[in-house]
């Protein structure tokens, strides 16, 4: 995976999937975190970002996702676990196969990666503004996703 550390600084090259179904978005968290974010993970060397999101969704949920389109690129600067992060993220709109059981789930459910370390849940798009979700631009930008016809670029200092 493409991640580097130096002193108290960490760089990540991350890809995330935006799965929206019936006006609900899929997010995940862990038991130790107090925030939600999008499913995804770090890019491997010699792997394209569209390949990464397909692989990550397969690893986390055992779903053959379909990559729809790149919605935005985010340069994110934040602190987490005593480190200063600089993260470049590619955010793709993705689809799941019709009828897949994950689409119909309500409430929290565990993923399959790392013995269920990731906890998933579908939230209505209206709930986003009240959630502790990162990156915070999701609260404002995801409500515009249907009307977006070009790739957006954001720089966020959290």
pLDDT digits (tens, 9 = 90+) for 27-59: 999 999 999 999 999 999 999 999 999 999 999
**Contact residues for 151 (Cβ-Cβ < 8 A; gap 6+):** 70, 71, 72, 73
Of 62, 43, 64, the C-alpha closest to 52 is 43
- Give the helix ranges, DSSP H, for 25-112: 49-61, 101-104
Q: b or e along 20-49 (b: 16 or more beta carbons within 10 Å of the residue's beta carbon)?
A: beeebbbbbbeeeeeebbbbbbbbeeeeeb
| pLDDT of residue 140 exceeding 90 | no
- Strand, helix or coil at 19? strand
Alpha carbon distance, N-terminus to C-terminus of the chain = 24
What φ, ψ does residue 139 adopt, rounded to 5°? -60, -35
Answer whether 58's CB lies under 8 Å from 40's CB: no
Please tell me the CATH code under which domain 3-157 is placed. Answer: 3.90.79.10
Answer whether 139's CB lies under 8 Å from 50's CB: no
State residue 143's pLDDT score: 75
Write the pLDDT tens digit of every residue in 90-123.
999 999 999 899 999 999 999 998 888 999 999 9
Of 113, 134, 104, the C-alpha closest to 60 is 113
pTM given for the model: 0.93
CA distance 50 to 31: 28
CA distance 40 to 50: 11
Answer whether 17's CB lies under 8 Å from 94's CB: yes
């Amino acid at each position: 995976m493409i991640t580097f550390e130096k002193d108290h600084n960490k760089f990540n090259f991350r890809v995330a999937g935006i799965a929206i179904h019936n006006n609900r978005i899929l997010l995940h968290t862990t038991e130790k975190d107090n925030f939600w974010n999008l499913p995804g993970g770090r890019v491997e060397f010699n792997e394209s970002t569209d390949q990464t999101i397909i692989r990550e969704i397969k690893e986390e949920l055992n779903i053959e996702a379909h990559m729809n389109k790149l919605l935005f690129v985010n340069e994110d600067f934040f602190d987490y676990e005593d480190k200063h992060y600089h993260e470049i993220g590619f955010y793709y709109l993705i689809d799941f196969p019709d009828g897949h059981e994950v689409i119909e789930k309500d409430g929290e459910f565990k993923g399959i990666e790392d013995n269920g370390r990731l906890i998933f849940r579908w939230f209505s798009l209206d709930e986003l503004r009240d959630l502790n979700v990162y990156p915070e631009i999701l609260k404002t930008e995801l409500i515009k996703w249907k009307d977006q016809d070009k790739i957006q670029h954001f720089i966020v200092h959290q």
